[in-house]
Every structure is written in C-alpha cells, then in structure tokens.
C-alpha cells in the first residue's frame, strides 16, 4: 500500500467502526434519560443565575480561560500502529501527506468542545458585557483560527522534540490563546491579531525544524495507544472490553480499609475483594468518578426531583457495574484451590459495596445540606444500591470452573 491516502482511509474506517461498536453501548436509553435531566437542570440553573449575576462578574476572563485551556489541549490523532515503525520507514519522505489527513481530522474532531463552551457562554456575555451580537460572534472565527493553529503547533512540537516537555508548550499556547480571546471580547482586535501572528510564527519555526528530523514513530505510536486505551477504559464502564488491560496501584494510604476485614478463614474472600477493589484502577476510579458526579449534582442542582433521579440512576450504575466487575472475572485465582463456600465471594462483594455505597451516601448527604429534603438522595443511594445488588443478574455463574 504505497498510497498513503489509502492507508489513512483504511485506518480511519477501522477506527470509526471500533468507536461506533462501543459507543452504542455507552449512549443507551438510560444514559440518554440521565443526560436529558442533567442538561435540563444545568440549563435551568444557568438561566436563573443569569437573572441575578452581577455586572462586575469577570465574564470575559472566565470565558477566555476556559476556552483557551481547552484550545491548548490539541493532542494529534495519527492512528499509527506499532508495526508502522518498520513498515512505513520506506515511505517516510511522503508521510506528510498522511499527517495532513490526520491533522485535518484532529482539527474537526476537537473543534466541537471549545465552540460549544463559547456558544454556551454567549448568554452570559450578553448579560454582563455591552458587546453586540456581531462582536460576540466574531469570537467564533478566532476560536476556529486558534484551534487550527494549536493543532498544528502541538503536532510540530511533538515531532521536533520527540514528545519532551509538552507541558511547557501547552502552557505557552494556553496563555496566548487566553489573551487572544480576552482581547477579542474586549474588542481589541489588533492585539488579538498580533498574538495569532506570534503563534503562526512559532509554528513556522517548528515546521522548519521538522523538515530536518526523522519521524518520531515511537512517540506517536505510544501517544495513539494511550489515547485508545483511555477510550477503552471509558467504554469498559458500560460494556466489557475484552482486550483492555487494567493498571494496578498499591494505594498504601487506604491500607486502613483492610482492617475492617477480621482475620479468619471465613473472611478470605472479603480480604481478596477489598484488595482487588482498592488496587485496581478501573474499579476504584469508577466508584470515585460516579460518586463525584453525584456529589456535584447534589451540590449545584436545586431541583429536588432532578437530583433524586440522577442520584438514583448513578447509584444503580455504580452498584451494577462494580458487582459485575468483581464477580464476573474468569481469571484463575489461588482462592479457587481452597475449600470455601460457593457464595462466599458474593457475600464479600456485597459487604464491600455496602461499605462504599454508605460512604457515597454520606458524601451525597453532605453535598445536599441546604436543599429541601436533603436526606432523600442519601436514602435513595442506600436503598437503590441494595435492591440493585439483590435483584440484578449474578455474573459469577459464567465463571470458568476448575
């Protein structure tokens, strides 16, 4: 396949097929319902806040900082694979045609988030500032320009520096992007144009350096592998991803949790389950993320029914996914060789979930203080998690037998 456009087309089609295969499990009817409630609640809270927001609120700086930071995060999507370090070497002189396709996709795929953030901020800008609609919408043009330049710069910087010190590069670009957007919102177009010219000059200097260096295949391959692994970990919260390899961390600061399991033969599975949950990133961070989301919703959403629905949905998701993750493992474990009761592991998982769902309920209770019926979300967490564990399908029946 000497035609690099054909190589990109095949890679891109395979990539989109892979993404669609897992995303259909992510955006299910239940999640869509939760998103509708979340977006509706946030929109209502936002509109109510705009009625009382002070004229001195620094809207220009807030919008500039949020959009500028997002614009600076422009990791290139190259779709390169491990064998490319060998098989694409003969085509290295022509690889820029391949990278041009990759950067075009990177630009369009990453443009949505900063554009949505800026558009969502337009009601705030209309309320707080005296900018006309034309002046505000001109900001979108600068968002497009800044995103394009940021994508080009990050690729060329990674290429020329082999991925070293990318944080420094991002900080510099974030600062320049923030200042550019701020000057646009203050209708100082001349300074904004000067900053964009500086970014373009920076990119031109990097491009000249790139032409004299070989392609850093290893860095781009590792970058792509990490990007896809992040996607697979996200998808694994909603469905099983067979080729996902999770990471393990000791988390010594949580060793005190093991003291909750009394020493004894009947607690063998409890000790194993507690260590598995705390040390496995996928399991532990799943609980942390969903608990954090519930806490934030309970803290900022002042519509009780919305808070209750979202809390119930996420408590259900937390219990169901952790139950499946901790009971469905088909890997060989040494505890299978010992004469322990069949239901001992299920009881151990239930004990762990009761403990951590109690912690989740306490966090929700603390975040809900000040709202009407603040204790209801915590009760929902405890009741719904218990019902979910008892009446959901037991995946342990699908384990391999030895």
Q: How many domains does the chain have?
A: 2
Does residue 205 or residue 323 have the better pLDDT? 205
Residues 135 and 186: their CA atoms lie apart, in Å, by 9
Please state the rounded mean pLDDT for residues 56-85. Answer: 92
Q: What is the pTM of this model?
A: 0.75
For the beta carbon of residue 224, count every other beta carbon within 10 angstroms.
21
pLDDT at 171: 95
Please state the rounded mean pLDDT for residues 152-169. Answer: 92
Residue 34 CB contacts under 8 Å (≥ 6 apart), including other chains? 309, 310, 313, 314
Alpha carbon separation from 48 to 40, 41, 42, 45, 286 (Å, rounded)? 12, 11, 10, 5, 32
Helix 29-50 and helix 281-300, axial crossing angle in degrees, nearest 10: 40
Q: How confident is the model at residue 153 (pLDDT cuts 50, 70, 90)?
A: very high
214 and 268 fall within a common domain = no
Alpha carbon separation from 93 to 98, 145, 212 (Å, rounded)? 11, 28, 11
Q: DSSP of 84-149, one letter per residue? A: HHHHTGGGGGGHHHHHHHHHHHHHHHHHHHHHHHHHHTHHHHHHHS---HHHHHHHHHHHHHHHHH
> Which residue segment(s) compose the domain that 388 sits in?
252-395
79 and 184 fall within a common domain = yes
Chain-wide mean pLDDT for the chain?
85
pLDDT at 115 over 70: yes
- Domain assignment present for residue 163? The answer is yes
pLDDT at 108: 95
pLDDT at 285: 83
Which two tokens mark 221?
A: 């391959």
Residues 179 and 181: their CA atoms lie apart, in Å, by 6
Q: What pLDDT digit, counting tens, does each position of 333-386 carry?
A: 555 556 666 677 788 888 888 989 999 999 999 988 878 888 888 999 999 888
192 and 264 fall within a common domain = no
173 and 269 fall within a common domain = no
The residue among 234, 269, 303 that closes a domain is 234
Q: How confident is the model at residue 219 (pLDDT cuts 50, 70, 90)?
A: very high
- Domain assignment present for residue 81? The answer is yes
Please state the rounded mean pLDDT for residues 308-337. Answer: 76
120 and 257 fall within a common domain = no
For the beta carbon of residue 276, count every other beta carbon within 10 angstroms.
19
- Domain assignment present for residue 96? The answer is yes
pLDDT at 63 over 90: yes
216 and 262 fall within a common domain = no
Q: What pLDDT digit, counting tens, does each position of 16-52 carry?
A: 999 988 888 777 656 677 777 778 878 888 888 888 8
Query: How does DSSP classify residue 252?
Result: G
pLDDT at 244: 65
Does residue 246 or residue 215 have the better pLDDT? 215
- Domain assignment present for residue 241? The answer is no
The residue among 202, 234, 266 that closes a domain is 234
Which two tokens mark 158?
A: 């990674």
Please state the rounded mean pLDDT for residues 3-20. Answer: 90
49 and 191 fall within a common domain = yes
The residue among 180, 206, 234 that closes a domain is 234
pLDDT at 394 over 60: yes
184 and 123 fall within a common domain = yes
Q: Which of 53, 41, 69, 44 is nearest to 126 (CA)?
A: 53
Residues 221 and 103: their CA atoms lie apart, in Å, by 15
Helix 166-185 and helix 189-210, axial crossing angle in degrees, nearest 10: 160
Q: What pLDDT digit, counting tens, does each position of 120-129 carry?
A: 999 999 898 8
Distance from the first to the final alpha carbon of the chain: 47
Q: What pLDDT digit, counting tens, does each position of 92-112 carry?
A: 888 899 999 999 999 999 999
- Domain assignment present for residue 247? The answer is no
pLDDT at 151 over 90: yes
């Amino acid at each position: 396949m000497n035609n690099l456009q054909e190589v990109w087309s095949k890679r891109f089609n395979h990539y989109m097929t892979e993404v669609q295969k897992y995303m259909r499990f992510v955006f299910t009817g239940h999640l869509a319902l939760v998103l509708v409630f979340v977006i509706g609640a946030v929109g209502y809270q936002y509109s109510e806040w705009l009625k009382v927001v002070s004229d001195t609120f620094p809207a220009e700086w807030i919008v500039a900082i949020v959009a500028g930071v997002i614009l600076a995060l422009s990791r290139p999507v190259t779709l390169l694979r491990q064998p490319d370090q060998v098989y694409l070497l003969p085509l290295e002189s022509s690889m820029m045609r391949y990278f041009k396709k990759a950067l075009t996709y990177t630009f369009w795929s990453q443009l949505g988030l900063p554009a949505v953030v800026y558009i969502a901020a337009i009601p705030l800008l209309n309320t707080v500032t005296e900018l006309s609609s034309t002046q505000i919408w001109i900001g979108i043009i600068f968002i497009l320009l800044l995103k394009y330049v940021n994508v080009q710069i990050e690729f060329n910087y990674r290429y020329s520096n082999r991925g070293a010190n990318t944080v420094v590069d991002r900080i510099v670009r974030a600062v320049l992007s923030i200042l550019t957007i701020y000057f646009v919102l203050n209708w100082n177009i001349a300074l904004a144009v000067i900053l964009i010219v500086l970014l373009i000059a920076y990119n031109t200097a990097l491009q000249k350096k790139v032409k004299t260096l070989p392609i850093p295949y290893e860095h781009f391959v590792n970058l792509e592998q990490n990007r896809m692994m992040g996607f697979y970990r996200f998808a694994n919260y909603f469905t099983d991803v067979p080729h996902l390899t999770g990471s393990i961390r000791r988390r010594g600061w949580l060793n005190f949790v093991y003291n909750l399991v009394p020493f004894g033969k009947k607690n063998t599975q409890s000790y194993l389950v507690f260590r598995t949950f705390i040390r496995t990133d996928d399991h532990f961070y799943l609980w942390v993320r969903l608990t954090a989301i519930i806490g934030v919703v309970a803290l900022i959403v002042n519509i009780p029914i919305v808070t209750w629905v979202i809390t119930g949905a996420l408590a259900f998701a937390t219990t169901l996914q952790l139950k499946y993750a901790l009971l469905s493992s088909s890997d060989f474990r040494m505890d299978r060789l010992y004469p322990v009761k069949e239901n001992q592991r299920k009881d151990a998982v239930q004990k762990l979930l009761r403990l951590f769902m109690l912690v989740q309920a306490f966090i929700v209770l603390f975040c809900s203080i000040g709202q009407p019926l603040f204790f209801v979300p915590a009760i929902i967490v405890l009741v719904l998690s218990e019902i979910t564990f008892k009446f959901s399908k037991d995946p342990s029946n699908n384990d391999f037998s030895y």
